[in-house]
Amino acid sequence: MIPAIEVCGLIKTYPGGARVLNGLSFNVGTGEVFGLVGENGAGKSTLIKILATLLTPSAGQVRILGLDTREYPARIKRRLGVATQDSHLDVRLSVRQNLRFHGRYFGLDSRKIDHAADCWLERLGLTDKAVERVYRLSGGTRRRLMLAKAFLTDPDLVILDEPTAGLDPKARLQVWEAIRVFRRQNKTILLSTHHHEEVRALCDRLLLLREGRGECLKTLQEPAAPFSEGAVSLS
């Protein structure tokens, strides 16, 4: 089976800046929940933008669902769900209107959109917010709406950048459960997080990014260095 993500010799240098990713190679299999961890500035967001075809590699090859990101960005985007720190929400519209707008952009019919929206709003604890306008929502509620958007179009791969940052414990568990539900459909999830507990609860494997290079691990057995709590090791 074709890996959901294939990265080979990836280099990214920002104009006038240092090399952020320095020959990174790893694969993510279909149906995996794959963690992405690393200190602030390690290059997680840069990598996520490249995987989501929002940023071009300086060198190396990236294939998403078997498609090269340079050649087929539009085809990849149709099969991808993304929730990043900068994900766009229209604050003048309601929660449901944001989801409808997004679903229509992906060419889904209204019935399908509303059905998917109801499912994901319920899973993420947002049913009672459906008619609320986004400008009135708290940060944590907006973040969960971004996740509902990422899952809405039934993508084959979702990329989530710190999906539970700033969420209260109940909302965090709802997000974890939503990720598990999605994964049970043999879909792939790439999950960037600073929470070791989250890695342990959800991830099959992880990539530890450090100084532009990555190390694939099966698990975080102990709280990880260099995050100052202990050592990382392969299970």
Ligand X SMILES: Nc1ncnc2c1ncn2[C@@H]1O[C@H](COP(=O)(O)OP(=O)(O)OP(=O)(O)O)[C@@H](O)[C@H]1O
Provide the binding-site residues for ligand X, judged by CB under 6 A. Answer: 14, 17, 20, 38, 40-46
Report the nearest approach of ligand X to the CB of residue 161 (Å): 8
What order do you get walking across the sheet with 19-28 strand by strand?
Answer: 19-28, 5-13, 59-64, 67-68
By beta-carbon proximity to ligand X, the closer residue of 46 and 174 is 46
Whether the CB-CB separation of 34 and 26 falls below 8 Å is answered with no
By beta-carbon proximity to ligand X, the closer residue of 101 and 227 is 227
CA atoms lying within 13 Å on the CB side of residue 166: 11
CA distance 155 to 150: 8
Report the nearest approach of ligand X to the CB of residue 105 (Å): 26
Report the nearest approach of ligand X to the CB of residue 209 (Å): 7
By beta-carbon proximity to ligand X, the closer residue of 35 and 38 is 38
By beta-carbon proximity to ligand X, the closer residue of 164 and 174 is 164
Report the nearest approach of ligand X to the CB of residue 147 (Å): 18
Report the nearest approach of ligand X to the CB of residue 14 (Å): 3
Report the nearest approach of ligand X to the CB of residue 35 (Å): 13
CA distance 133 to 91: 7
Among residues 140, 220, 131, which one has the least CA distance to residue 175? 140
Here the tokens at position 159 are: 């990329």
DSSP state of 42: S
Helices (H), the chain: 44-51, 73-78, 95-105, 110-123, 139-152, 169-183, 196-202
By beta-carbon proximity to ligand X, the closer residue of 80 and 209 is 209
By beta-carbon proximity to ligand X, the closer residue of 117 and 232 is 232
